Each structure stands twice: as C-alpha cells, then as structure tokens.
Structure 1
Amino acid sequence: MPALATGAGHEPAGLYALLAALPSQLQPHVSRPEDNTFLQDMFGERGLHSLVKIHERLQHYEESKPAPVLGSATILAQELSKQLELKSENGDIKELTKLLENPHVKSLLSVHDTVAQKQYDPELPPLPEDLDDEENSVKIIRLVKNKEPLGATIRRDDRTGAIIVARIMRGGAADRSGLIHSGDELKEVNGIPVDDKNPEDIIRILAQSQGAITFKVVPGSKEDAPIREPKVFLRALFDYDPSKDSAIPCKEAGLGFKKGSILEIMSQEDATWWQAKHDGDANPRAGLIPSKQFQERRFALRQPAATLPLQRTLSRRPSGFRRSFRLSRRDRKTNKSMYESKKSQMYDMADVPTYEEVTPYCRQSGAKHRLVVLVGPSGVGMNELKRKLLISDPQHFGVTIPHTSRPKKNQECDGVEYHFISKHLFEADIHNNKFVEYGEYKGNYYGTSLDTLRGVLAKKKVCLLDVQPHAIKLLRTAEFKPFIVFVKPPAMERLSETRKNAKIISSKDDKGSARPFTEEDFQEMLNTAEVMESQYGHLFEKVIVNDDLTTAFSELQSALKRVETETHFVPVSWTHS
C-alpha cells in the first residue's frame, strides 16, 4: 500500500481528507480499468462521505466536549435539602427548600446526571437462567410505547395453541423497531406468561401498558427482509367502517374511510387484508382494509341495487335528455317520449366498485383540458350552470353542437343549431360507436358525437357536457380524462322555496308549454338524484348541491380552477396509456 499524503504542515490529515485523496493516490497502482472504476465509485459514494463527516464531528466533540463539574447533582440537592431542614426557617430558606422539592427541578437534575454519566442505554432485564433447550433462541425485546398502538396483530395457532405474531403494521412502533416479526411466538409480556391467555386478554394488557414494554419471544422461521413495494394509491369507491366489520382480524387495527378517499397501500402481502393509510396523513402507521378481491366477493354476495327504477324514472322526465341535444321549441312541442338510449344498463353493473388505482396528475401548460361532465336529474339546474360558465368566459369554455338526421329548416345553418347528416350516415355512426348519447324522435335521430367533443378540446377550450350517467363510462378514458360533477338538488323545502318562480317544459300535453314545478316534479327529482348517486356515486369527483344558483356556480368555478392548476389523483390508466 503506498504512503498517503498528509495535510498541510505536519499535522495528519483528517479521515475525510484521506478518503477524498484515496482514488488519485491509488490510481497508479491499479492496472485494470474496471478496478479503477470500482474504487472511484466506492470512495466517491455520497453516503460514505456523509458517514465519515459524522465520524469526524463526533471525534471532535469527544476531544473538546465540556467535562461535567459534578456527576450527581441529584445527591447534592438531597444533601442540601437535609441541611436546610436544620436551619432557621426564614423566607429564603423556605423558598429554596420548596424549589428543590419541585418535581420539575428533580427531573431536570436527573437528566443532568444521566448526561454527565453517559447512562443512555435502557436497563434490560437479565436473561432467564432456567431456559429449556428448545428456547435457546429466545429474544428479550423492550419497546417504548406511548399512546399509539404497537402496530401488530396476534393469533392463536390452531395446532400448537401458541400465541403467534400474525402481522406487523407498516409504519407502526413494532415495524419501526425492526425487532418483532410476523411468525414470532410470544411467550411473555412484561413478565406475564401468555400461554394460558386468549389474544383478546393480551391485547388488553398491551392497551393498558404505557412506557417500556418487555416481550419474550421465540423468533419464527428466518425470512428474507420484506421487499418494500413501490407506492400504490387507490381511490376508495365505497364507505368502510372497521368497527362494523365482523370479518376483520382486529377492529382496533382497521382503517376507516369514505367513498372518494385516497389511500396509500403500504402492504399487499395478505391476500385478504391489505395495509393502508390515508394520503397525506402524518401518522406513519398503517391500518387494515379489505383487499380488492375480498371486498368484491363480499359485494357480489349482496343483492345488487336495482337499475330498473332509474330507467323508469328517467323515462318519465324527457326534458333533461332533450336539452342535452338542444332541441328547438318546435321539436319540444311535439315530442311526447324520451329518446331511448341504446346503452345497456347491465354494462354499468358488470363490475363491482371497490377501489380504483390512481396516480398524481397535473395538467401541463398547453395540454388539452379535461372534459367537464355534469350529471344530475332533470330540472336541477345543469343548463343554468353551463350557461353561466359560458357567459363568464366564452374564450375558455365551449359546448358541443349535436347531430341530427332531420332535414335542415330554412332559418337554420349547418354547424350552428345542429350538424345535419343523413339518416343512413347517422345509423352507420351508431354502428361504429361514434356517439356519446343518441335517441330517436319522430323518425329522426339526435345525438352527441365523440368527434364534437374532440373538436372543442382541440381548440384548447374546456368542453362542458351534460349526459345521462350511464354514458360516463364511455368517456372515462385517457383521451378525455373527464372531471365528473354531480349536481344535486337540495331538500324538498328548499326546492319549493328556490324554484317557486321557475318553469319546466312539459311533455305531457301536445303544446309542450312551460309550466311551474309541482311537488310531484320535486319528489321525482329527489328520487332520481338518490338513485343516480347510489349507482354512480363512485364515479363522481365533485358533488354540488344547487341550493342557491350563485353559490353553486361559484363552487363549480373554484372546482374547475383547481382541476386546471393543481395536482390531483386520476386513474393510473389515464397516464400510462
């Protein structure tokens, strides 16, 4: 080994300086290029340099640290208190005696003695001397538990009756210690044998314990260190309350959430119970949630929500569907039935909504906007909200122009009121799935095509669209990245109050005249909203109650602004396609 250079003058160089000089000092003695590359990488490793810097700082502290004047200030304070008892009790002596007896002062002196004597290590109990041969690998573990749970679940082995650590919750106290592992056999807790106790009794002991807890465990079979999985985020599509789940292994370890919550999955090692935490939660400890497969099986066993009531309800309210296609007043007067959508309702119930994998997404400057889709019952005010958005900024917002197969009238222009195409071409486009929605009235087709959406988005505008909820799934693609807003009616009392002067286009007579809302209309609106939310609520990203139009519009404006400028979660498939 060649001699290494020292620092300036005759003082020896520090370890960090020697480490930095090593590669160049060794280079003349290395023949193979790969060896030289290895040395460069090894000695240039930033982590190694950081460790050496820490070593030098600690060494410097050892050489220059202040020496304590007294090793035990506590004893001195006790002796002083005894001597003061023999003195005359004047005011100063009383005050000093009271000060020395103060618990905070005693604690401060105790900390001083600990630092002065360097007694930092915890005092572990001695190993038992009467260990059996079978217990030659016993471990004594001491963990400090504050108010948080330990983050481990236990079970009784059906065959041996032993108490086994079933799982370690990611981010919990047990996981952070690295001392307890799944499969370890628990023998004692704070010196109390657990062989004759139920898991519930042990959990009660742990819950009542504070501070240091001592475990005696027999390690399970040696396993490789668990591979830390890449970050996975899921959007919950249902509500979950672990306290009401009879199947969960430990209710206290469960993690509750609401529909729409973003969950970071910490572990999927258990096929039935995953470990997760809420995104952005400062608490690192994970909780148990049912896995996607397990929850899907449970949902499948329940009676699915009926879809026919929604179909029938919508069929009684034609006006909302007609307005999506912007029918003229003359068309409205003679229409007596709703356009029948050809989309099958069975498509919406083909999958069971549990979780959807999502990823953070932020729209880049210059990129196309997300499609904005409004959903709600007829008469709830979607058209008014769209109109106010268009008026507020016509250069930023746009709407689609529907297609129709009916002949163009004298005062109409192609591409203004409608895109006029032949019935044969319309049917061909239906066959080729080119429409978001379509319907037939008096032998003519009306519909909204996918290409008209693309046209608005290509102009770098925000495309506003209102559809029946069954059309949402057709639009939930990487191309459109739809932001789904559910416009919800307020309670019956507020509906009556806020819509008392509003009119609705009637389709129950030949004239199709505008008439005031009736209580039956309001009840139908509420029922439709309830069924929509029940069946499609897992797809809604924003819910706005249209109690007051000005307030609802302001809330919608703010939500759309955040969608355009802030980072939010979207399905993984929208960014990886």
Structure 2
Amino acid sequence: MPALTTGVGHEPGLYELLAALPSKLKPHANHPEESNFLQGMFEEKSLHSLNIFFFQLSEELQDESATREVNELLKLLAKPHLKVRIFLVLKFQCVDCDLFCVTGLIHVGDELKEVNGIPVDDKKPEEIIRILAQSQGAITFKVVPGVKEDVLVKEPKMFVKALFDYDPKDDKAIPCQEAGLAFKKGSILQIMSQDDATWWQAKHEGDANPRAGLIPSKQFQERCEILSTPLVFSGVGFRRSFRLSRKDKKTNKSMYECKKSAIYDTADVPTYEEVTKYQRQDRAKHRLVILVGPTGVGLNELKRKLLISDPQHFSVTIPHTSRPKKNLENDGVEYHFISKHLFETDIQNNKFIEFGEYKGNYYGTSLDSIRSVLSKNKVCLLDVQPHTLKHLRTAEFKPFVVFVKPPTIERLRLTRMNAKVISGKDDKGSAKTFTEDDFQEMLATAQTMENQYGHLFEKVIVNDNLSEAFGELRAALKKVELDTQWVPVSWTHS
C-alpha cells in the first residue's frame, strides 16, 4: 500500500494507522474475501479524501482569526450530524441467538443509515435483521451518532429496583447475550428506553458508562416466570407471631390470619419496582421498622436490646386481646383489653394487621397502635409475618424491612442448644429448650420466607452472635434516619 502524504501536519498518525490496519487485521479474517474487503476498503480514495478534507479545513480555520463565524463553523463541524461513522465488523453469530452483535460500536440514540450500502431508513427492524442474516463475510454499517444531550432531554430519568437476579449468560431468550446487562436483586437500574415491549435498555445507577444494556421488560419477565414456574402448594407453614408450639397449633386456631393468604402472595411475580430517592425531614414521622424471621431466630431479643439502648427513641405496639385482665395488669400497658364482640367487629372493619385466636381468646395488632407510636416521634418496632408486608408497604408507614435469618445448623447447635424458646405469648413459664427438630424447622422456614418474600427485604442480618447482630441492626437503622434511600415512587407521589 503506497505511503500517504498530505498537507496536514498535525495528524500523520492517522494515515499510518490506516495503512497498517489491513495487515494487522488480516490474521483475524476467516476467509480470503474478508481480507480482500479490508484491503480494498482502507485503500479507498474517498475514505482518505474525506479525512484529508476534514483535517485541512479544521487546520485552516484554526489559523484564522477567531471571528464569530469561524467559531460557529468549527462547532458545526464537530456536530454528530457531520460525523457519519462508517465501520466494518466481521460477521459472527451469538450462541442461542439469531441476531448479529456490534458490541460497543452502536450506541443508544445512534441512527443506522446503511447496511452493506443498502439504505435502511425506512426499513423495519425485522427487515434489517434479514439483511444481516443473508450477508456473507464482513458487514459495513453507516451510522449517524446520536446527540446525547438531546436523548437525555427527551427521556426523563426512570429508576427501578430489581426484584430478581438476572444474568444474560443464562437467558436463552435474549436476542444477544453480549448486549445484556447483568444485575442482582436489589440493584438500582436506570431505564434508558422502553420502546421495545420485550427488551428494555438500562444501565446501573451511577454508572458513568453511557452505553446501556438489554434487560427483560416487566411484562416479558412476568410472562416467562409464570410459564416456567409450576404452581406448588407448600406444606411448610409459618409459626404465628405468638410462637405456638406444634402441640398448640393442633389444638388452637391458626394465629394471626390475614385478609390475603401467603399462597395468594406467591402468585405475584417480582420483577421491577419504580423507585425514587427519599430522605426523611426533621419533623417527618419515622419509617416503620419491621423485623421478619422464623421462630427462635432472636427477634424479641433484638427488639429488647433496641428498647433498652434508647427507650426515648424506640417503642413497640401494644396488642389487643379479648381475654380478661389479670391481677397487676393495666389496660393500655400490657394489652388493650376489649370484649370479644368488639374484637370481632374490628376484624370485620379491617383494623388489625394480624389477628388470631389462642386458647379461646383473640389477640391482634392494630393499625392504630402503629400510628400511636409514630405520632410520638418514635421509631416503631414491629414483628410480623411476611405475608402482611404488602399491607404495610404504604406511603403512610414507609416500612424498612429487616429479615433476621439463622446461621448454619452447626452454629445453631453450638450457640443455642441450651437456650429456650417460648411457645406462647401468655405462657412465659412454658419455655423449653431447642430440639434438633426446632433447628431444622427454623432453617426451612427461613428459606421459605426468603424465597417468597426476599424481594421485599431491605436488610438481611444473620443472627449468629446476638451482640454483633444488634450492632449491625443499630447501624442500619441509623442510616435509615440520616441517609438518602431508594423507596417506591408511590411513597413520595401519593
């Protein structure tokens, strides 16, 4: 290839690069026609003439006095509309994919003008794909770069919290695995485009990389999950908040029934939740703190340590009951004592988050008891079953949900073998030591809770050591009060 000479003195490296490229790329060409194509393209006079023209014009303008007209022309030459990008890729096909990838070359907002010299302005995506599929050897694209500023102005920022894990390498449905964006449950994603009903374009929040990746749309992910997940009615149940033993559960009605069952909740497919930034103002009510976990994991101990650490800041709800008041008990202290008839009326009026019957008496936690704590500018600590979370995830309460899970069974045997579990709230004298069956049930219940409701948990703490778990919980609650968090949009725009 003859040496290139021009009158442009500032960019000789460009022409040396163009001259060297065919030999550098030749080892990567799979067929002779690909090598010949490369050679011919880089020897194309029009390509060099175009570059020479731009460099000469720019240099001459730089030498001119900086008049307003010259500055405007220089800015015009720098506009994307005059930077038609022509590039070549060697055709390759993704595994489990019928589309061809041009990874890193085509960006969001770019306008595809030609493919192999064929104008595609008026063609549909499937027609372009057909052209790509029928192409042999190398493929040439002509692209007009998009104006990033315009894209940002046209598309308002939308952020979502991912409620499931996703890896495009494991997804056979994605049209191009290399173009996919991997994320974990809890990741905050900025949605760049929802133009395609099946595949959205997104990037991780705070990522400086301007390029977006493909993620399944909400509707497509829901459809895939419903088709791939068999409906299974699990025999593993949750112990209720009053911690009934197996014997208690056989002789009493299930504690704390809710309007919607746990089985109903499993029909909801977690995909994405639109979120926005939120920071509590000084005079605003505190977020409700909900602790979730299996029986025996240490929820009561953690609540007790929080209350002792700062009784003026933390508080718990006072439950209602229909049982008679005992000696030395005071109404509104241990319980709110009401008649069975009034309790049943309140149940019908949906005043309870959870309720149930134990030894012929009703027990329950009311919504008003939560409001009472929050109105005193205190943090309300609540221990409920996970199937009630959806009823508490409202703009009024803005709950921060902490899942407390047990450690391994080996650690349970080592640290809790001599500890005791209370079977019922009113039967503190009936505490018994843990058994191997208790450990197995604790682990199984924790796994079930995490599988079904893990997308609603904002913090997960493993209670291996109570002091360490308490320190982790205390630090997390401090951040909730002081730092900015991502919360559902409905909590701030209601």
The yes-or-no answer on 1:250 pairing with 2:176 is yes
Query: How big is the shift at 1:455?
Result: 0.3
> Structure 1: which 5+ residue stretches go unaligned?
1-70, 75-113, 122-138, 146-153, 157-162, 207-214, 220-224, 325-331
Is the alpha carbon distance of 1:322 and 1:361 closer, same or farther for their aligned partners in structure 2, counting shifts above 3 Å?
Answer: same
Structure 2 residue aligned with 1:23: none
Structure 2 residue aligned with 1:361: 278
Structure 2 residue aligned with 1:322: 242
The yes-or-no answer on 1:518 pairing with 2:447 is no
Question: Aligned partners of 2:484 and 2:135: how far apart in 1?
Answer: 44
Question: Aligned partners of 1:201 and 1:498: how far apart in 2?
Answer: 67
Question: Aligned partners of 1:485 and 1:430: how far apart in 2?
Answer: 27
Deviations 1:349-389 (A, max 9, x none): 34211111111111111110000000000000111111111
The yes-or-no answer on 1:339 pairing with 2:255 is yes
2:142 to 205, 212, 217: 217
Tell me the amino acid that sits aligned with residue 250 of structure 1. Answer: C
Deviations 1:133-152 (A, max 9, x none): xxxxxx9624699xxxxxxx
User: Residues 335 and 441 of structure 1 are in contact (CA less than 8 Å); yes or no, is this contact kept in structure 2?
Assistant: no
Is the alpha carbon distance of 1:237 and 1:511 closer, same or farther for their aligned partners in structure 2, counting shifts above 3 Å?
Answer: closer
Query: How big is the shift at 1:348?
Result: 1.1
3-state SS of 2:106 partner? helix
Query: How big is the shift at 1:303?
Result: 2.5
2:355 to 426, 433, 438: 438
Query: How big is the shift at 1:514?
Result: 2.4
Query: How big is the shift at 1:342?
Result: 3.8
Query: How big is the shift at 1:309?
Result: 2.5
Residues 224-373 of structure 1 aligned to structure 2 (within 5 Å): 228-304=154-230, 306-311=232-237, 314=238, 317=239, 321-322=241-242, 338-339=254-255, 341-343=257-259, 344-373=261-290
Query: How big is the shift at 1:199?
Result: 8.4
Tell me the amino acid that sits aligned with residue 141 of structure 1. Answer: R
- Pair member with larger Rg: 1
Deviations 1:40-72 (A, max 9, x none): xxxxxxxxxxxxxxxxxxxxxxxxxxxxxxx79
Structure 2 residue aligned with 1:181: 111
Tell me the amino acid that sits aligned with residue 281 of structure 2. Answer: Q
User: Residues 84 and 143 of structure 2 are in contact (CA less than 8 Å); yes or no, is this contact kept in structure 1?
Assistant: no
Query: How big is the shift at 1:229?
Result: 1.8
The yes-or-no answer on 1:502 pairing with 2:419 is yes
The yes-or-no answer on 1:410 pairing with 2:327 is yes
Query: How big is the shift at 1:456?
Result: 0.3
User: Residues 310 and 532 of structure 1 are in contact (CA less than 8 Å); yes or no, is this contact kept in structure 2?
Assistant: no
3-state SS of 1:174 partner? coil
Question: Aligned partners of 1:201 and 1:474: how far apart in 2?
Answer: 58
User: Residues 187 and 218 of structure 1 are in contact (CA less than 8 Å); yes or no, is this contact kept in structure 2?
Assistant: no
Question: Aligned partners of 2:287 and 2:418: how far apart in 1?
Answer: 35
Structure 1 residue aligned with 2:473: 556
Question: Aligned partners of 2:429 and 2:412: how far apart in 1?
Answer: 23
Tell me the amino acid that sits aligned with residue 217 of structure 1. Answer: K
Tell me the amino acid that sits aligned with residue 262 of structure 1. Answer: I
Tell me the amino acid that sits aligned with residue 552 of structure 1. Answer: A
Structure 2 residue aligned with 1:28: none
Deviations 1:427-475 (A, max 9, x none): 1110111101000122211000000000000001000001011111110
Is the alpha carbon distance of 1:201 and 1:519 closer, same or farther for their aligned partners in structure 2, counting shifts above 3 Å?
Answer: farther
Deviations 1:230-254 (A, max 9, x none): 1111111111110111111110000
Structure 2 residue aligned with 1:394: 311
3-state SS of 1:322 partner? coil
Deviations 1:506-526 (A, max 9, x none): 57xx99732221111111100
Question: Aligned partners of 2:303 and 2:252: how far apart in 1?
Answer: 26
TM-score of the aligned structures, taking structure 2 as reference length: 0.72
Tell me the amino acid that sits aligned with residue 364 of structure 1. Answer: Q
Query: How big is the shift at 1:216?
Result: 4.8
Residues 466-477 of structure 1 aligned to structure 2 (within 5 Å): 466-477=383-394
Moved more, 225-234 or 485-494: 225-234
Question: Aligned partners of 1:322 and 1:200: how far apart in 2?
Answer: 69
Question: Aligned partners of 2:134 and 2:485: how far apart in 1?
Answer: 42
Is the alpha carbon distance of 1:379 and 1:141 closer, same or farther for their aligned partners in structure 2, counting shifts above 3 Å?
Answer: same
Instruction: Indicate the RMSD between aligned Cα atoms, in angstroms.
Output: 3.7
Query: How big is the shift at 1:539?
Result: 0.5
Deviations 1:489-533 (A, max 9, x none): 0111111111122112357xx997322211111111000000000
User: Residues 373 and 483 of structure 1 are in contact (CA less than 8 Å); yes or no, is this contact kept in structure 2?
Assistant: yes
Is the alpha carbon distance of 1:458 and 1:404 closer, same or farther for their aligned partners in structure 2, counting shifts above 3 Å?
Answer: same
Structure 2 residue aligned with 1:59: none
Question: Aligned partners of 2:192 and 2:61: how far apart in 1?
Answer: 33
Question: Aligned partners of 1:254 and 1:404: how far apart in 2?
Answer: 54
User: Residues 85 and 143 of structure 2 are in contact (CA less than 8 Å); yes or no, is this contact kept in structure 1?
Assistant: no
Question: Aligned partners of 2:405 and 2:466: how far apart in 1?
Answer: 12
Query: How big is the shift at 1:552?
Result: 0.7
User: Residues 289 and 382 of structure 2 are in contact (CA less than 8 Å); yes or no, is this contact kept in structure 1?
Assistant: yes
Deviations 1:164-199 (A, max 9, x none): x9xx99xx65337x6x425x441179xxxx999748
The yes-or-no answer on 1:576 pairing with 2:485 is no
Moved more, 496-505 or 370-379: 496-505
Is the alpha carbon distance of 1:305 and 1:565 closer, same or farther for their aligned partners in structure 2, counting shifts above 3 Å?
Answer: farther
Tell me the amino acid that sits aligned with residue 427 of structure 1. Answer: E
Instruction: Determine what percentage of the aligned residue pairs are the same residue.
Output: 64
